[in-house]
Amino acid sequence: MNSVVGQNVLRKDGMPKVTGDAEYVDDLQFPGMLYGRTVRSTIPRGRIRSVRLDFDTRGFTIVDYRDIPGPRCNFVALIEDDQPFLVKEEVNHVAEPILLLAHEDRERLLDARVEIEYEPGIPIFDPETSPVVFKDLRIRKGDVDRALAEAEVVIEGTYRTGHQEHVYIETNGVIAVPEAEGGMTVYGSLQCPYYVHKALKALLALPDEQVRVVQMETGGGFGGKEEYPNLIAGHAAPGSKVRPSSEDHLRSRGRHAGYHQASPLRDPAPDGSDTGGAPGCHGHRRAAGWRGVRNAESGGTFPRLHSRRWSIPL
């Protein structure tokens, strides 16, 4: 019996990547596609009072929250129903997706002027002042009070870390292709295909067998492509394409609309340990908008009863 223990084993994806034969999501092409663009919020908090399309809308496909079937479907199915695919009224962060545009002429798409009137609200920049607790997790094992009482050293304090970014080379990208009998196949640069599968089932109200998610070669992720492709796939589905780009953050250039924020890790709980022991309590919370932007705006679509496939470059 041959054994690989103690021997060098070639990576399955090593040679295709070295030779350039590896196929990433941006390498896939489908005929009859359109360019797409996402119009995003420019304020951190408030309400939308009006949206004015200040351009000739002929030839455009225009999509907002009303094109998503049912109020329950407009939330990314993950933990809580608190992240809409498209904003209805309330804006909760900068660059939150509000409107989706598509057109076969890329320049006309980028030139389309959309005016959004807001009623500004008061943003919360300090999580300590927020009235909303995303999740309260308590882990207890054994007699905690006794362990603290008998510990040689008890350390109690508040611990913080700075914001973090995963800095992968390939940005997020998704292709959604409608299948026969209303099914959907999604190809993407992602880490957790079952997250995307769950989100699309809820969004499209489809059974398990009609939603297929294919994980393409992933050009880096490190946790940054776990849950976020859910939102991108929800904008791309069905039959539209979101292409990765060289831009991945809101602040990379002034006009780009993308957003990612990883909030600090905070641990308010006391830690008790023997000398030389490591504290074991911690908490982690993260909020994010979708990454990957190109040109003046990023891309994503949800169709208004149109049958042809769309190309949505970021």
Question: Can you give the pLDDT of all 314 residues of the chain as single tens digits?
Answer: 677 788 888 888 999 999 999 999 989 888 777 777 889 999 999 999 999 999 999 999 888 998 887 777 899 999 888 899 999 999 999 999 999 888 889 899 999 999 999 999 999 998 889 888 888 888 888 998 999 999 999 999 988 888 888 899 998 888 888 888 889 999 999 999 999 999 999 998 899 999 999 999 999 999 999 998 998 888 888 435 444 433 343 322 222 222 222 222 333 333 443 333 323 222 222 222 222 222 223 333 333 322 223 333 33
> Alpha helices of the chain — where are they, by DSSP H?
14-19, 106-111, 144-150, 193-204, 229-236
Please report, for residues 76, 106, 122, 157, the alpha-carbon distance to residue 130 in angstroms, rounded to integers and kept in the order given: 22, 41, 11, 20
Going from the N-terminus, what domains does the chain have, and what CATH number goes with each? 31-128+163-262+285-313 (3.30.365.10)
Q: Quick check: 272 and 153 in contact, CB under 8 A? A: yes
User: What's the 3-state SS for 192-219?
Assistant: CHHHHHHHHHHHHCCCHHHEEEEECCCC
Question: pTM, whole model, 2 decimals?
Answer: 0.71
